[in-house]
Structures are given as structure tokens and as C-alpha cells.
């Protein structure tokens, strides 16, 4: 069936609300407004105000309340509009949700799912466009996932909810409107394993979330120039599926990391280091990465696009790694 990422996530939310009475959705404008990206449109009418719960603009309180509700036996899905706003509840996520199990000697788990959008590309300027998922991926105690395909968008939530530990689910805002074909049959998709989205022999392109599509397009463009790129979709940013990453690199002997985070302190840097630690002698070329330029994301389209990883910049970087300078 033809559907969009937005509808795929809505289907996942509906399925979760139908499947377990303990599940409820809470966040800013998720109810009457229908979700700021219209993801939860219609769910209030379907499930009522107890289970689709509009909150005040109080990120710390409602995410913290989600954590408390999880401790109290519920299975909250908490939506924070964007990762930018989630900095207002960073304390609750990092200091409480991530630490409680450990600090309590294993007595309390926090089965919460926090959904938030991330990423740039819609001319929303600096305070609505940042990609800070690597901040969350830095923290032990959290599981961080990023669906990139329709199947994953619909299929990841169920396992995220089944996880007794806190899960942060990142949805790239540029994906919501994209259409595609999705099987009618429901599947649960893995939130632990990375997956090879395109097989190739010459170079591993490692990415996740909203940038996967740019990477796949770059791989197609590269194929026309005789370079067969393998595309690895991480899906889980914490824990990283190191074995899948290394397996691909050991096959292709080259790696380019594509990450919409800033280069400094990026997830790409972490992945590159892991490859260097464990597969250095398998490499035929230096590791490389395509990240966002070190600038708060600007508003004008041409500057915004210049700041972000693009199909062209990925292709160019791969050629460089292949020793094929223009």
C-alpha cells in the first residue's frame, strides 16, 4: 500500500494504543492539534483525552512525569516536538531515566519511549534544525534508535515499548512527507541490529535516519561511475551494532560515515574510531566522513543546504577515498 512516514508512525502509535492499556501518548499538541507534524492526528478522537494527553509547554515536567508514570506501571510514549526543545528536559532523560536502574541496584527500570524529531532541511533556522542525537547516544542507560524506512517507522515502536529501559526514538523531520510502498502485513523491525540497505564491494557508506536516502541516492550515482557502495543503516545509535559495521568494512575495505551531526564530537567520529580500533589493517584507504558544517543551521535555503551532507558531497568524498580525484 502507498503511505507516508507520517502515516506509518501514526499506524504504529494506533497499534500500540490498541495493543496495551498501559500505553498512552503525551506531549505538546499531540491531542487536539493533532501533533505539530500531524503524526498523531485523529488519535485523540479515537482514544480520548486520558490516553492522548496534551501537555503544557513544560518539557522537563512532562518528560519527568512520563518517567514517573513508567515507574508506576504505565508505558508512556512521550513526544517532544524537536530535539532542540528536548534540551529543556535533558536533566530528566540523562540524570533520571538513564541512571535509575543503575542507582537503584536494578530495582527500578524506566520503560518510557521518548519520540522527537531531529534534523534540518526545512528552513526552520538554528533553533529548530539541529541534530543532537549523538548527545543521547553518549549516555549509558539509554537506547537510541532512528528509523529511516517506512517499515522501520512502523515497526520499531513495538520493540521500543517492549524494552524495559528508556528508548529515545528520533524521527527526521524531512521524512514525514515522503511516500512509499509498505506491505499491509505488520512486522516488528529490529532495534538492535544495523542492516545493509544496498550491497556493494568497494566502499561502506554508514549512515542512519533522514540521511539514509541521500546516501542511497549517492550510491546509485556512484554505481554509474563504476563504484559499488555498500550502504549500512545503523538503526540503533546506542548501542551501536559494531559487528555489522565491521563486517561491512572488512568486505569493502573502505568507509565513509555520513552524519547530520556536527563533525566535532559526532557519532561519525565514534564509528570511525571503532573501525580504526578493530579493522585498521583491513582498510585500503583513510576513513572519511561527511558531516554538517560547524555552524548553527542558517535560514536561507542555499546556506542551509551548503551546511548539510548532500548527495554530491557524499559522492565527492567517496571518489576521494577511492583515489579518484576529479
Partner 1 sequence: MNREPSRLSRSQGLRWLKDMMRIRRMEETCAELYGQEKIRGFLHLYTGEEAVAAGAIPELEDTDAFVGTYREHGHALMRGISMNAIMAEMFGKVEGCSRGRGGSMHLFDAGTRFFGGNAIVSGGLPLAVGLALADRMQDKPGVTACFFGEGAAAEGEFHESLNLAALWQLPVLFVCENNLYAMGTALARSESVTDIHAKAEAYGIDSQPVDGMDVMSVNSAIRAALKTVREKHRPGFLEMRTYRFRAHSMFDPELYRSKEEVEQWKQLCPIATLTAQLQAQQLLEDRDLTTLEASVDAEIHAAVEFAEAGNWESTEDLLRDVYTEDAVTAQEPIP
In the annotation, is 319 catalytic? no
Grouping H, G, I as helix, E, B as strand and the rest as coil, residue 172 is: strand
Question: Which region, judged by CB under 8 A, interacts with partner 1, from 63-71, 124-132, 240-248, 301-309?
Answer: 63-71
The residue whose grid cell reads 549516555 is 139
Site residues for partner 1, 100-129, by CB under 8 A, read 100-109
> Is 302 an active-site residue?
no
Residue 184 binds partner 1, judged by CB under 8 A = no
As measured in angstroms, the least distance from the Cβ of 50 to partner 1 is 7
When asked if residue 55 is in the footprint of partner 1 (CB under 8 A), the reply is yes
Q: Which of 7, 28, 59, 230 is catalytic?
A: 59
Contact by Cβ (8 Å): 189, 152:
yes
Instruction: Examine residue 136 and tell whether it contacts partner 1 (CB under 8 A).
Output: no
CA 40, chain centre distance (Å):
19
User: Residue 306 interacts with partner 1 (CB under 8 A)?
Assistant: no
- Of 17 and 287, the one with the shorter C-beta distance to partner 1 is 17
16 near partner 1, judged by CB under 8 A: no
DSSP code at position 191? S
Contact 291, 307 (CB under 8 A): no
Q: Cα angle vertex 275, ends 232, 323, to 5°?
A: 80
65 sits near partner 1 (criterion: CB under 8 A): yes
- CA 274/CA 304 separation, integer angstroms: 30
Nearest Cα residue to 256 out of 222, 225, 300: 222
Which residues is 292 bridged to in the sheet?
262
Nearest to 97 by CA among 77, 86, 85, 113: 113
Q: How far is the CB of 55 from partner 1 (least distance, A)?
A: 7
Phi-psi region of 38 (alpha: psi -120 to 50; beta: other; left: phi over 0): left
* 281 DSSP assignment: G
Contacts with partner 1 by CB under 8 A: the residue count is: 53
Spatial CB neighbours of 58, under 8 Å, sequence gap ≥ 6: none
Stretch that binds partner 1, among 58-66, 123-131, 217-225, 254-262 (CB under 8 A): 58-66
Contact status: 74 vs partner 1 (CB under 8 A): yes
Site for partner 1 in 148-167 (CB under 8 A): 155, 158-159, 162-165
Sites of contact with partner 1 (CB under 8 A):
22, 24, 50, 55-56, 58, 60-74, 76, 91-92, 95-96, 100-109, 140-141, 143, 155, 158-159, 162-165, 187-192, 195
Q: Which residues participate in catalysis according to the annotation?
A: 59, 128
Amino acid at each position: 500500500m502507498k503511505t507516508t512516514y507520517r502515516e506509518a508512525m501514526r499506524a504504529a502509535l494506533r497499534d500500540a494504543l490498541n495493543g496495551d492499556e498501559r500505553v498512552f501518548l503525551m506531549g505538546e499538541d499531540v491531542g487536539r492539534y493533532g501533533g505539530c507534524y500531524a503524526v498523531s492526528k485523529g488519535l485523540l478522537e479515537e482514544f480520548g483525552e486520558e490516553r492522548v494527553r496534551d501537555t503544557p509547554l513544560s518539557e522537563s515536567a512532562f518528560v519527568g512525569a512520563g518517567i514517573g508514570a513508567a515507574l508506576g506501571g504505565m508505558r508512556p510514549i512521550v513526544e517532544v516536538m524537536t530535539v532542540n526543545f528536548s534540551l529543556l528536559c535533558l536533566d530528566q532523560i540523562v540524570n533520571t531515566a538513564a541512571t535509575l536502574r543503575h542507582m537503584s541496584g536494578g530495582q527500578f527500570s524506566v520503560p518510557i519511549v521518548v519520540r522527537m524529531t531531529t534534523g534540518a532541511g526545512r528552513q526552520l533556522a538554528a533553533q529548530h534544525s539541529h541534530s543532537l542525537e549523538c548527545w543521547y547516544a553518549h549516555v549509558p542507560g539509554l537506547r537510541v534508535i532512528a528509523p529511516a524506512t517506512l517499515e522501520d517507522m512502523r515497526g520499531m515502536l513495538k520493540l521500543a515499548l517492549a524494552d524495559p529501559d528508556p528508548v529515545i526514538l528520533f524521527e527526521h523531520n524531512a521524512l514525514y512527507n515522503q511516500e512509499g510502498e509498505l506491505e499491509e502485513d505488520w512486522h516488528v523491525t529490529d532495534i538492535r541490529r544495523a542492516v545493509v540497505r544496498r550491497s556493494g564491494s568497494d566502499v561502506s557508506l554508514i549512515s542512519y535516519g533522514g540521511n539514509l536516502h541521500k546516501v542511497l541516492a549517492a550510491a546509485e550515482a556512484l554505481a554509474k561511475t563504476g563504484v559499488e557502495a555498500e550502504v549500512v543503516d545503523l538503526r540503533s545509535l546506542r548501542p551501536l551494532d559494531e559487528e555489522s559495521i565491521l563486517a561491512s568494512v572488512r568486505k569493502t575495505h573502505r568507509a565513509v560515515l555520513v552524519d547530520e551531526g556536527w563533525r566535532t564530537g559526532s557519532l561519525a567520529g565514534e564509528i570511525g574510531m571503532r573501525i580504526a580500533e578493530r579493522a585498521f589493517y583491513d582498510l585500503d584507504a583513510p576513513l572519511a566522513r561527511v558531516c554538517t558544517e560547524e555552524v548553527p543551521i542558517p535560514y536561507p535555503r542555499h546556506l542551509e543546504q551548503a551546511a548539510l551532507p548532500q548527495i554530491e558531497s557524499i559522492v565527492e568524498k567517496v571518489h576521494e577515498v577511492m583515489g579518484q580525484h576529479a
